[in-house]
Structure 1
Amino acid sequence: MCHIASGWLYGGICRSKLRRHYSLPEAPCSDSLIHCCCRACALTQEYTELKIRGVDPSIGWKANVEKWNREGLEPPIVAPGMAR
Structure 2
Amino acid sequence: MSEQEGKNEKKVTEGQWTTGLYDCLSEDISTCCFTWVCPCVAFGRIAEILDKGETSRGLAGLMVVAMSSIGCGWYYASKYRAKLRHQYALPEAPCADGAIHCFCCPCALTQEHRELKHRGLDPSLGWNIENGGLNSNTPPFVASGMDR
Same fold (TM over 0.5): yes
Which one has the largest radius of gyration?
Answer: 2
Contiguous gaps of at least 5 residues in structure 1 = 68-84
1:6 equivalent to 2:75? Answer: no
Percent identity over the alignment? 53
* 1:3, distance to aligned residue in structure 2 (A): 2.5
CA RMSD after TM alignment: 1.7
Deviations 1:19-71 (A, max 9, x none): 1001101122111110000011000100110111110101323442336xxxx
Contiguous gaps of at least 5 residues in structure 2 = 1-65, 134-148
Runs of 4+ in 1 over 4 A off after TM superposition: none
Aligned residue pair count:
66
2:117 to 51, 54, 68: 51
TM-score where L is the length of structure 1: 0.69
- Which residue of structure 1 aligns with residue 131 of structure 2? 65
Compare the two structures and name the one with the higher helix fraction. 1
- Which residue of structure 2 aligns with residue 15 of structure 1? 81
Task: Give the stretch that moved more between structures: 15-24 or 54-63.
Answer: 54-63
TM-score where L is the length of structure 2: 0.41
